[in-house]
């Protein structure tokens, strides 16, 4: 009985040391907002059909600060995924851009723009947003969620072509099942773009 109690005490003591170590490790993470974001007006704007991109947008906004807005369609896509996929494929083939509600981005210096990957490319509502707005003198930082594949280089070129901005920051691509981003992941990405 005495040995059992001593054993339990030792295990408890070791667990306590591990917990204290982990807490101090978390506290010591050096979180420095990248310099290019300092004193800038920041907007995180996104389109999200299913909530994945919204989740990443909220993560970014929570950590970076600034405002957050959602790109809203004037006419919604069909709820049925097959009908929606067929329609988006047809719209892409025809070069059709769906109408979205206007968003005023004139006040912002830095725009985080989030989109799901659709047919290996930018989602159409985000294409409309990029097409409708003027990004002169703004820093554009794209982020994407996807489920299988995306042509990342082609996507950056496409954003450059639509906006005329040729210094698009390196986008973040998040696989749809891993969308809870830590502060460290976001800062690491932003320090390397």
Ligand X SMILES: Cc1cc2nc3c(=O)[nH]c(=O)nc-3n(C[C@H](O)[C@H](O)[C@H](O)COP(=O)(O)O)c2cc1C
Q: Does residue 94 bind ligand X (CB under 6 A)?
A: no
Helices and strands in the chain, H and E counts: 6, 6
Contact 122, 158 (CB under 8 A): yes
Identify which range of 22-30, 42-50, 132-140, 184-192 contacts ligand X by CB under 6 A.
42-50
Contact 132, 105 (CB under 8 A): no
Give the pair of three-digit tokens for residue 151: 């042509």
Give the x/- contact pattern for ligand X in 51-80, rule: CB under 6 A. xxxx--------------------------
In whole angstroms, the minimum distance from the beta carbon of 91 to ligand X comes to 10
In whole angstroms, the minimum distance from the beta carbon of 118 to ligand X comes to 4
Give the x/- contact pattern for ligand X in 118-157, rule: CB under 6 A. xxx------------------------xxxxxx-------
Beta bridge partners of 44: 68, 112
Contact 170, 153 (CB under 8 A): no
In whole angstroms, the minimum distance from the beta carbon of 121 to ligand X comes to 7
DSSP helix/strand/coil, 147: coil
DSSP helix/strand/coil, 114: strand
Q: Can you give the binding site for ligand X, defined by CB under 6 A?
A: 48-54, 84-85, 88, 116-120, 145-150, 176
């Amino acid at each position: 009985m005495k040995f059992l109690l001593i054993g339990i005490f030792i295990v408890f003591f070791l667990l306590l040391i591990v917990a204290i170590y982990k807490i101090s490790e978390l506290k010591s993470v050096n979180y420095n907002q990248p310099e290019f974001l300092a004193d800038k007006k920041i907007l995180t704007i996104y389109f999200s059909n299913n909530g994945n991109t919204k989740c990443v947008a909220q993560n970014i906004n929570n950590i970076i600060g600034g405002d957050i807005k959602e790109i809203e369609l004037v006419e919604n896509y069909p709820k049925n995924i097959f009908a929606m996929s067929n329609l988006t494929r047809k719209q892409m083939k025809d070069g059709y851009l769906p109408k979205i509600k206007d968003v005023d981005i004139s006040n912002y210096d830095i725009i985080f723009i989030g989109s799901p990957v659709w047919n290996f490319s930018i989602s159409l509502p985000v294409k409309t947003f990029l097409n409708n707005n003027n990004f002169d003198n703004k820093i554009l930082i794209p982020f994407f969620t996807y489920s299988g594949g995306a042509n990342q280089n082609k996507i950056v070129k496409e954003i450059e072509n639509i906006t005329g901005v040729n210094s698009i920051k390196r986008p973040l691509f998040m696989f749809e099942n891993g969308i809870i981003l830590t502060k460290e992941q976001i800062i690491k990405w932003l320090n390397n773009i």
